[in-house]
Structure 1
Amino acid sequence: MLLLAGCGSKDGPGKAADQDPVVADAVNDPIMADPDQAAQNRGNAALTGGGPASAQIPPFNTSPEEIERARTAAADLLGGTVNPAPPPQRSADKSRLAGAETPLAVATALQLANGDCEKSFAFSAVWAAKLPSALMVYPRGHTMVAGGSDAVQCKLRSVRFVTPVAANEVADFYYGSAGKAGLAPQHAREGADEVITGGRGTQKFAVYARKRADGLTEVDLVTADF
């Protein structure tokens, strides 16, 4: 289970200590395609329902030492250094994700989900473990809610997670990781969100990171057709 939880995709496992404990907990749980059935899974009620997370995430270490561990793990994934992303290439007064509360709503707002996705989309933290290796959950982050589909017409993952690392540093990491994978990343800013988007061919992704009132960084990460 730990090996699977550590995988961003079939490309291979990451370091187990740096992986999302919520994903590790949920990776063997059944995937709930029907939001009305989410209440059956009491252990991960915040992760399997169709609406916003209603339960608290596990106790989260936000100490300076934990932040440094997360930064170090992120740097290790990029060969030792996370370089700053270039200045935003575009900006907007308001984020496209304003009001988007569920994983499917986020993907739809970003135009990464088509009409077929509503039928096949399933809710479970296990989808965070199925992200492409170049676009995994930021090291030592905690998944709040996730969903996805492997249907032919809707190959989609949409994950919301939190990390104590600052939003601009999260954006720097995904810009570097996507660039390393040849996914032509672009940096933008929409309202209070740091935004990294890109892709290759039919593969597309988007990362939206923002600071919450409690000081944590909340991130929406969506990949399509990977």
Structure 2
Amino acid sequence: MSAARAMLLPVVLLLTACGSGAPEADPLAERDPAVTAALADPLMADPDLTSQNRGNAALTGGGPAAGEIPPFKRGQAELDAARAAALDLVGGALRAAPAASAEQETSPADAATAAALVRALPWGRSCADKLGYTAAWAAKLPPALPVYPRGHVQEAAGSDAAGCRIRAVNFQTPVPGSEVVDFYATVAGKGGFALTAGRAGADLTLTGKAGGSVFALFVRERAGVTEVNLVTSGG
């Protein structure tokens, strides 16, 4: 064996040893299952929207989305799929929302943060400072008030503190705003909520109450996308 080959042999053996160890653990394997459920399809966020001006979005206090999040699809195929999923969820037909009976010039959904939005609601003022921000709250909405099927969650906040069982979720969908309101009129009506529809600034609104549970829905269309803020208390 030549001297050069003799010198190279230990190096080759060392590199072989370095590559023969056990593979690294998959970092996704230890992800909180609640967060996984919140971020998985159909609850998705659009990382490409982080550079947009979201001054009119209620939920901007949770920081940028993290993780392997699919992009927001806006085409006709996605719109049709979302509509079909919504109809399937409600049993094949939507009920029309009540006629608008209240109007105001500005919308609470113009608030800059989830806490500010909750504070603007009479039944949320004392709970606003208890909110925590994580996408997992989108998976913890009351069963009667889910995220619109295939809705793409942007941010979510909530609390389970005593007397402050609050959820505040911001999401987007390609489905027209009026259909989104009708969807919530349907699911909330089935859930026993007494409903009131109205307008607030640029938003269509729907509020409801059932026993100790209340909710407020704010829906607006902007740049070809419907943006929804849903806040629930109780339930």
**Do these two structures clear the TM 0.5 threshold for a shared fold by scoring above it?**
yes
Correspondence 1:1-226 to 2 at 5 A: 1=33, 5=37, 19-22=42-45, 51=61, 54=64, 58-98=70-110, 100-118=111-129, 120-212=130-222, 214-226=223-235
**Displacement over 6 Å in runs of 4+:** none
Asked if 2 retains the 8 angstrom alpha-carbon contact of 1:175 and 1:186, the reply is no
Q: Distance in 2 between matches of 1:189 and 1:199?
A: 18
Q: Secondary structure at the match of 2:71?
A: coil
Query: C-alpha displacement at 1:136, in angstroms?
Result: 0.8
Deviation readout 1:110-160 (Å, 9 max, x if unpaired): 223233541x32110100000011111111011111110001121100111
Q: Secondary structure at the match of 1:162?
A: strand
- Distance change in 2, residues 1:164/1:89 (3 Å): same
Q: Distance in 1 between matches of 2:196 and 2:34?
A: 33
Where in structure 1 are there 5+ consecutive unaligned residues?
7-15, 23-48
What one-letter code is carried by the residue in structure 1 that aligns with 2:37?
Answer: A
Number of aligned residue pairs: give it. Answer: 187
TM-score by length of 2: 0.72
What one-letter code is carried by the residue in structure 2 that aligns with 1:20?
Answer: L
Q: Secondary structure at the match of 2:197?
A: strand
Asked if 2 retains the 8 angstrom alpha-carbon contact of 1:53 and 1:144, the reply is no
Deviation readout 1:155-203 (Å, 9 max, x if unpaired): 1001111111111111010011100110112211112101010111221
- Distance change in 2, residues 1:53/1:68 (3 Å): farther
What one-letter code is carried by the residue in structure 2 that aligns with 1:109?
Answer: A
- Distance change in 2, residues 1:64/1:101 (3 Å): same
Q: Secondary structure at the match of 1:97?
A: helix
Query: C-alpha displacement at 1:58, in angstroms?
Result: 4.5
- Distance change in 2, residues 1:203/1:55 (3 Å): closer
Mean alpha-carbon deviation: is it higher for 80-89 or for 149-158? 80-89
Q: Distance in 2 between matches of 1:91 and 1:116?
A: 25
Q: Distance in 2 between matches of 1:115 and 1:171?
A: 27
Asked if 2 retains the 8 angstrom alpha-carbon contact of 1:4 and 1:129, the reply is no
Between the two proteins, what is the percent identity of the paired residues? 43
